[in-house]
């Protein structure tokens, strides 16, 4: 059980960062070695220790039940079916599997799953599915395989096929070519997909096909095709991705204009980007804001002394003029949104000589001007600048200056940043959809206890995004969990509510 949550994290996070490599019938396709492979890897000390704590194990049980409940809603099998689905998810997550899922219009009725199981597990699948769907509506056998069907009317039949050491489970006929491909490869190679080699997971996802099913924030990404590989590297998981866009993306690198004297220590996270708007689908109202940090360079950082010490700075031609332009254009755009969200607003406060976000629970983020190394910057602060301490080490800036065509860079001490990100939404109270699905109290408590148990000593995670061709990005991440602190908070939040109405 202790590794189920890990696979849930990994496979769910793929929905936000991957896209398919030329497949026209599948929105998502992946090949995973299974969580048992990670559990057996004695080098992954941090990952295994983090996910084996008592609160983490408790949340894994809860999250697995939420996923089973979500499937029961999708399959319309009734409120008593999650216990029947639970052992099937266990097999799928722990063992080697290959999965293909159809495009959004058929995402609940078009999939093919192949899982490597022994004969006893194969029998368990057929027994549990028979109980779920009301008995088998048809069965056929030959020398090498056995197939069962469960009619579901217009939504597409469920079916299983046992062949060799694999059990195939799916719904609908739209992916019949994929089903035939899996069976043919199992017959010739004893596997529906090529060997993973040293990788733990390979996957493909098409953001264009999946757009209707993605959360709103993920729809900000321009549709691309991305291939992802995840592999253990010592104590870390390394994630590599290649995003390919259908047309050339207009983007030009510039010399970095680093605010070296603004970024202080003790530093627990640092982020830099340039021209990221080129890879986003943002509204004209946002993209046309004067001196926009999304179309410019930006630098974000957090200090380790308290959760609110988070900052964002970006260079502007002339600080006072830039702030005056934003003062004229930003409030009319954002204030109607903020009023509906939480009755807050952005307003100019002459005594502070700053734009201030007022009406929040604990803080009043400010946007002001500052200057460093003879350059003007706009500085967004959640907390007043601390007294001067040592600036960030020179090695940090070399990470930017030694990488050509760098679009995005992120470094963090994940354990400490996780605990900050766990508290920040509560302190700022800025969560879109705050009146929507809040999940059960049991899920809220289980999630909070699990996140609170995670050690601040979880090590460093580094993410780099580099433009490698006019229509291509290369993404690499290396870290002990494979996710950033923010991603772990958001994903655990989703898992805690996945089965809620």
Phi, psi of 256 (to 5 degrees): -70, 135
| Residues 421/451, Cβ–Cβ less than 8 Å | no
Task: Say yes or no to pLDDT of 238 above 50.
Answer: yes
CA 84, CA 239: separation in Å to the nearest integer?
A: 33
pLDDT at 114: 98
Task: Say yes or no to pLDDT of 382 above 50.
Answer: yes
How much of the chain is helix, strand and coil, in % rounded to 5? Answer: 40, 30, 35
CA 209, CA 174: separation in Å to the nearest integer?
A: 15
CA 368, CA 61: separation in Å to the nearest integer?
A: 47
Q: Residue 348: CB partners within 8 Å, gap ≥ 6? A: 327, 331, 354, 355, 356
Q: Is the pTM of this model over 0.85?
A: yes
- Helix (H) and strand (E) counts for the chain? 14, 20
Give the confidence band of 298 by pLDDT, cuts at 50, 70, 90: very high
Q: Residue 481: CB partners within 8 Å, gap ≥ 6? A: 9, 46, 47, 50, 237, 414, 458, 461, 488
* Mean pLDDT, range 219-240, rounded to an integer: 95
Task: Say yes or no to pLDDT of 6 above 90.
Answer: no
CA-wise closest residue to 302 among 290, 312, 316? 312
| Residues 13/198, Cβ–Cβ less than 8 Å | no
| Residues 236/216, Cβ–Cβ less than 8 Å | no
Q: What is the dihedral of CA 121, 127, 128, 129, to 10 degrees?
A: 110
State whether the Cα torsion 245-250-252-253 is positive or negative.
Answer: negative
% of residues, the chain, pLDDT over 90? 67
Give the confidence band of 144 by pLDDT, cuts at 50, 70, 90: low
**How confident is the model over 23-73, as pLDDT tens digits?**
335 889 999 999 999 999 999 999 999 999 999 999 999 999 999 999 998
| Range of lowest pLDDT (8-17, 153-162, 193-202) | 8-17
Task: Say yes or no to pLDDT of 470 above 90.
Answer: yes
According to DSSP, the β-strands at 375-381 and 460-469 are unpaired
Give the confidence band of 211 by pLDDT, cuts at 50, 70, 90: confident
Task: Say yes or no to pLDDT of 155 above 80.
Answer: no
CA 493, CA 174: separation in Å to the nearest integer?
A: 33
Reported for 455-460, long-range contacts at CB under 8 A and 24+ positions apart, including other chains, are: 455/49, 455/50, 455/415, 456/413, 456/415, 456/416, 456/418, 456/419, 457/415, 458/46, 458/50, 458/413, 458/414, 458/415, 458/418, 459/46, 459/235, 459/413, 459/414, 459/415, 460/411, 460/412, 460/413, 460/414
- Average pLDDT of the chain is 87
* Mean pLDDT, range 369-383, rounded to an integer: 95
């Amino acid at each position: 059980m202790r590794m189920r949550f890990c696979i849930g994290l990994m496979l769910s996070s793929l929905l936000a960062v991957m896209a398919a490599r030329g497949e026209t019938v599948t929105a998502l396709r992946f090949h995973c070695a299974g969580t048992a492979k990670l559990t057996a890897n004695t080098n992954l000390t941090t990952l295994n220790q983090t996910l084996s704590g008592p609160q983490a194990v408790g949340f894994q049980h809860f999250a697995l039940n939420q996923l089973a409940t979500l499937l029961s809603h999708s399959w319309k099998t009734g409120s008593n079916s999650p216990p029947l689905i639970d052992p099937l998810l266990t097999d799928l997550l722990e063992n080697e599997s290959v999965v293909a899922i159809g495009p959004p219009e058929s995402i609940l009725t078009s999939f093919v799953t192949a899982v490597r199981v022994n004969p006893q597990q194969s029998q368990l699948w057929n027994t549990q599915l028979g109980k779920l769907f009301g008995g088998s509506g048809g069965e056929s056998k030959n020398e090498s395989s056995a197939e069962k069907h469960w009619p579901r009317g217009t939504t597409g039949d469920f079916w299983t096929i046992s062949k060799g050491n694999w059990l195939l489970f799916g719904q609908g006929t739209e992916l019949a070519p994929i089903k035939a491909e899996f069976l043919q490869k199992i017959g010739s190679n004893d596997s529906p997909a090529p060997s993973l080699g040293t990788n733990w997971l390979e996957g493909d996802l098409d953001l264009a096909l999946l757009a209707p099913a993605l959360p709103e924030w993920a729809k900000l990404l321009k549709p691309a095709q991305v291939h992802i590989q995840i592999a253990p590297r010592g104590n870390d998981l390394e994630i590599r991705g290649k995003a390919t866009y259908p047309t050339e993306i207009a983007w030009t690198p510039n010399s970095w204009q680093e605010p070296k004297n603004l970024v202080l220590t003790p530093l627990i996270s640092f982020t830099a980007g340039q021209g990221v708007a080129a890879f986003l689908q943002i509204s004209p109202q946002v993209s046309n804001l004067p001196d926009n940090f999304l179309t410019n360079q930006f630098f974000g950082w957090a200090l380790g002394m308290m959760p609110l010490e988070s900052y964002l700075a970006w260079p502007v031609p002339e600080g006072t003029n830039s702030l005056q332009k934003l003062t004229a254009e930003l409030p009319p755009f954002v204030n109607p949104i903020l009023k509906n969200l939480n009755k807050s607003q952005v307003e100019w406060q002459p005594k502070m000589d700053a734009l201030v976000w007022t009406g929040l629970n604990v803080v009043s983020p400010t946007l002001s001007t500052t200057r460093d190394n003879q350059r003007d910057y706009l500085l967004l602060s959640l907390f007043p600048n601390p007294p001067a301490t040592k600036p960030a080490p020179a090695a940090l800036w070399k990470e930017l200056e030694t990488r050509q065509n760098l679009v995005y860079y992120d470094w963090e001490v994940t354990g400490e940043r996780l605990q900050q990100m766990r508290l920040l939404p509560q302190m700022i109270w800025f969560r879109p959809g705050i009146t929507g699905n809040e999940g059960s109290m049991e899920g809220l408590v289980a999630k909070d206890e699990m996140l609170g148990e995670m050690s601040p000593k979880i090590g460093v995670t580094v993410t780099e995004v580099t433009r490698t061709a006019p229509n291509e990005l290369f993404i690499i991440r290396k870290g002990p969990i494979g996710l950033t602190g923010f991603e772990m908070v958001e994903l655990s939040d989703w898992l805690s509510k996945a089965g809620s109405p």
